[in-house]
Amino acid sequence: MTMPTLLDIAKANGSDAVVGLVEEGARAHPELLLAPARTIKGLNYKTLVRTAVPTGGSFRDANEGVAASKSTFINRLVEAYIFNRRWECDKAVADSYEDGAAVYIALEGAAQMEGGMQDLASQFYYGTGVGGQAKGFPGLLAAYDATNMVVDAAGTTATTGSSVWAVRFGPKHVTWVWGLNGQMALSDVREESALDAEDNKFTAYIQELLARPGLQVGSTYSIARIKKLTADSGKTLTDALIAQLLAKFPVGTRPDVLFMSRRSLYQLQGSREAVNATGAPAPIPMEAFGVPIAPTDAILDTEALTL
């Protein structure tokens, strides 16, 4: 099923300036371009999750009864959080720009948007922990089954870890959530007094972006992770580790994408080159066992090995 993405929602809101900035800012962030997105009227909702199907025997003898059984359900809360970017520029500086103040403001706005997209991409994985922001939404690290949906690469050098995330997209799996009907409001540029480092006032152009993003992980079978990938010998990314990762998903299902850092991508390429019978350089990996690979700068190569 094809679902809209962050860019589609921005377009639907009719904010032309935002569309241009999102398209440029999100270009290097596959988490924002590949993952589907949905809007909700309010700020949160509950998902109904079946955690166990009815158990017990299905056969019986004649004139014999069977014990009743039932499913086990839980609710999971999905929330949208305040995402607010604000930028200021000295009116005198902007007005002096040779292409005009509007162009200067747009340049600063694009840089601010890029910073915001980087924040969203990092939050996607790390949530409220190190690598994310404490006031943002929980990420994949908080949602995945760290007992059953993980492969340990067993790296040992502290703070040099990295992860590979296998993710399933869709309304019952992983999707971005945008509250208040997809609010993504770019304010009009206004003139206000701003303060310098010594609390002296100057006139500035000010603009803000306000949105309400969140992240839904519908099932523990929606995501899986390879952890503790390092540069230690024998602890780098290989196809064998990816095969173990894919084996964590139930039969008949598979993830839609493998997110990894550029270092992990390079390690995977090196592992394929090492087993190449011709000795020719291996091409940059685009997929593994039919699952597309999406390199990203949002996954760190400095993760703590305790994550």
Domain membership flag for residue 104 = yes
| Residue 83: other Cβ atoms inside 10 A | 23
DSSP state of 157: S
Residue with tokens 């706005």: 109
pTM recorded for the entire structure? 0.86
Q: Please write the tens of the pLDDT for every residue from 40-68.
A: 999 887 776 666 767 877 888 898 888 88
Summarize the confidence of residues 77-103 as an average pLDDT.
88
Domain membership flag for residue 61 = no
Domain enclosing residue 16, as ranges: 6-49+75-295
Assess contact for 255 and 179: CB atoms under 8 A. Answer: no
Domain membership flag for residue 157 = yes
Domain membership flag for residue 64 = no
Q: What is the mean pLDDT of the chain?
A: 87
At residue 184, φ and ψ (nearest 5 deg) are -145, 80
Q: Please write the tens of the pLDDT for every residue from 207-233.
A: 988 999 999 999 889 999 999 999 999
pLDDT over 80 (residue 199) = yes
The runs of H, that is alpha helices, within the chain are 6-12, 16-25, 30-34, 91-96, 101-126, 140-143, 179-182, 239-246, 262-274
Assess contact for 79 and 214: CB atoms under 8 A. Answer: yes
Q: Please write the tens of the pLDDT for every residue from 236-282.
A: 999 999 999 999 999 999 999 999 999 999 999 999 987 777 767 88
Domain membership flag for residue 136 = yes
Report pLDDT for 242. 98
Domain membership flag for residue 55 = no
| Residue 235: other Cβ atoms inside 10 A | 20
Listing DSSP states for 72-118 in one string gives EEEEEEEE---EEEEEEEEHHHHHHSTT-HHHHHHHHHHHHHHHHHH
Domain membership flag for residue 54 = no
Report pLDDT for 266. 96
Percent of residues, the chain, with pLDDT higher than 90: 57
Total tally of structural domains belonging to the chain: 1
Domain membership flag for residue 1 = no
